[in-house]
Structure 1
Amino acid sequence: MDFRKLDNLSVDCVLLKLENNALKVLLRKRSLNLFSENLPIIDDWVLPSHYVLKSNNLGETANRIFNELTGENHLNKSQFRTYGNANRINSDKDLLWIRSRGAKNRTITVAYYLILPSNKKLKQTEGLKWFKIQTLPELGFDHHKIINDAYQDIKSKINTEPLIFNFMQIKFTLNELQSAFETLLGIELDNRNFRKKITSKPYIVPLEEKRKGQSKKPSRLYMFSNEVYNQVVETDHIINI
């Protein structure tokens, strides 16, 4: 395997999850202090990323990042955009960071996103933190735009592809599913109408199990059947809310 990197081609990964009725993104701390009055101190956050190795393709590079973070290979990752604007790396901090890594100022980045369920634990946590996308900290490079583009891509597909179920635990209640839609789309749904539409979908499978919560009446659990969905995908929207 050739471990030399292509110093002008990188992969950035946007990991997303829903937690406490908020959409969150995973960021990595970026720190650099060369103790020079002429050089800026870098103390901000960036997306997890790697330069592409000469013996790897783009998908393999994304898999390497996701595996390092979660300990698993994920088939449901999505490549959604490429960033190659000549001026995308132009701040003093970003230029210093690039030079410290022996990379080129003109870097092309291919971005992927991966949706995780709320109960998914990370393999590593040092230097990593989940942030609400509405209250992001100071970010390096054009990572604010990359995060927003990933979010917009998910919103554009949420009614026609089963992306919503990647946010859910394997077994979920209808209230949890409705809350996920409301959080991602920033809307309020009529509870009765939503339940009627959901329960009419053959790929939303009711279980003989219930989840005890704060209410006196336990809530029935459901699962998403990908096998059934694939049989009706040509004629049926995922929810069509």
Structure 2
Amino acid sequence: MAPKIIPNISVDCVVFGYDGTTKSLNVLLIKRYLESKETHEILVNDYVLTGYHALENETMDDTATRVLRELTGLDNLYKKQFKVFGDPNRLMNEKDIIWVESENFNQRTITIAYYFLVKTDEVDIEKNTRQAQWFPVNNLPELGFDHKKIINEAYADLKAKSLSEPIIFELLPNKFTVKELQDVYESILGVEIDNRNFRRKLLTKKYLIELDEKQVGVSKKPSQLFMFSKDIYQKIYKESYLISI
């Protein structure tokens, strides 16, 4: 027998993706579209986070992992459960009521929110059946439900965590330059960072290993490559800012 859903408990996933080409932090959203069966009038046409009801045999982490895998095909990504959203009116917008009724959702649904970190080029959105699309975190389209609030709170948490935990390296290749690391910080924090101060402070960090390698396939002078050592970080730091900017 297939496991039953818990009708008033869901998981919503904020998938943050870093685009190394555009140097932008993005959010993966799916299309929400509904027409009237009688008149073909467009009733709902916006975007939402990916999410689904929890199943009776799942933990919340299991549900989040399942939802992410169904959307992106990926697993074993950094994820964080950051808040529960249970406002009684969170699904009471006019369009949301229409959608809830069409999908037979429970109007008093409580959602457990997670965020994930991924590099955008790891997600094949061309094959996605839910019309998934990346949007810059600071330039989002019209959103359904309370998903703008969920994204904003996830983003605020990500900013804070990027300064106190080594999660930023989830968005970089295994080997990276100082400039590439600076670009990720700037895209998340939304600030410009002084190059010299950043490099000076960064090179004192023992968990950043300078490699005997440089960039290849670049037209300009190749830059030095580095790696992040999780083992060294865990030995040296229990709770400390990665970098002060």
TM-score category by the smaller chain?
A: over 0.9
Which runs of 5 or more structure 1 residues have no equivalent in the other structure?
Answer: none
Task: Report the TM-score, using the length of structure 1 for normalisation.
Answer: 0.93
| Equivalent runs, 1:181-196 vs 2, <5 Å | 181-196=185-200
| Equivalent runs, 1:5-20 vs 2, <5 Å | 5-19=5-19, 20=22
- Displacement of 1:212 after TM fit? 3.7
- Displacement of 1:153 after TM fit? 0.3
SS at match of 1:180: helix
Partner of 1:100: 102
| Equivalent runs, 1:214-233 vs 2, <5 Å | 216-233=220-237
CA distance in structure 1 between the aligned counterparts of 2:27 and 2:48, rounded to whole angstroms: 11
- Displacement of 1:211 after TM fit? 1.4
Q: How many residues align?
A: 241
Q: Which amino acid aligns with 1:12?
A: D
- Displacement of 1:216 after TM fit? 2.7
SS at match of 2:26: strand
Is the 2:77–2:118 contact (alpha carbons within 8 Å) kept by the matching residues of 1? no
From 15, 32, 41, the equivalent of 1:30 is: 32
Partner of 2:128: 125
From 53, 71, 94, the equivalent of 1:51 is: 53
Which runs of 5 or more structure 2 residues have no equivalent in the other structure?
Answer: none
Change (3 A) 1:235 1:149: closer
Is the 1:2–1:54 contact (alpha carbons within 8 Å) kept by the matching residues of 2? no
CA distance in structure 1 between the aligned counterparts of 2:105 and 2:50, rounded to whole angstroms: 16
SS at match of 2:187: helix
Is the 1:18–1:180 contact (alpha carbons within 8 Å) kept by the matching residues of 2? yes
Write the deviation string for residues 162-188 of structure 1: whole angstroms up to 9, x where unpaired. Answer: 121111122111001111111211111
Q: Which amino acid aligns with 1:125?
A: N
Structure 1 residue runs of 4+, over 6 Å off?
Answer: none
CA distance in structure 1 between the aligned counterparts of 2:103 and 2:205, rounded to whole angstroms: 51
Q: Which amino acid aligns with 1:104?
A: N
CA distance in structure 2 between the aligned counterparts of 1:166 and 1:225, rounded to whole angstroms: 12
Partner of 2:208: 204
From 235, 238, 242, the equivalent of 1:234 is: 238
Is the 1:27–1:128 contact (alpha carbons within 8 Å) kept by the matching residues of 2? yes
From 77, 80, 95, the equivalent of 2:79 is: 77
From 138, 143, 146, the equivalent of 1:134 is: 138
CA distance in structure 2 between the aligned counterparts of 1:133 and 1:28, rounded to whole angstroms: 14
Is the 2:29–2:48 contact (alpha carbons within 8 Å) kept by the matching residues of 1? yes
Is the 1:12–1:112 contact (alpha carbons within 8 Å) kept by the matching residues of 2? yes
| Of 18-27 and 143-152, the range deviating more from structure 2 | 18-27
Task: Report the TM-score, using the length of structure 2 for normalisation.
Answer: 0.91
Q: Which amino acid aligns with 1:135?
A: N
SS at match of 2:138: helix
Q: Which amino acid aligns with 1:168?
A: L
Change (3 A) 1:23 1:94: same
- Displacement of 1:55 after TM fit? 1.4
- Displacement of 1:219 after TM fit? 0.9
CA distance in structure 2 between the aligned counterparts of 1:166 and 1:220, rounded to whole angstroms: 20
Is the 1:118–1:169 contact (alpha carbons within 8 Å) kept by the matching residues of 2? no
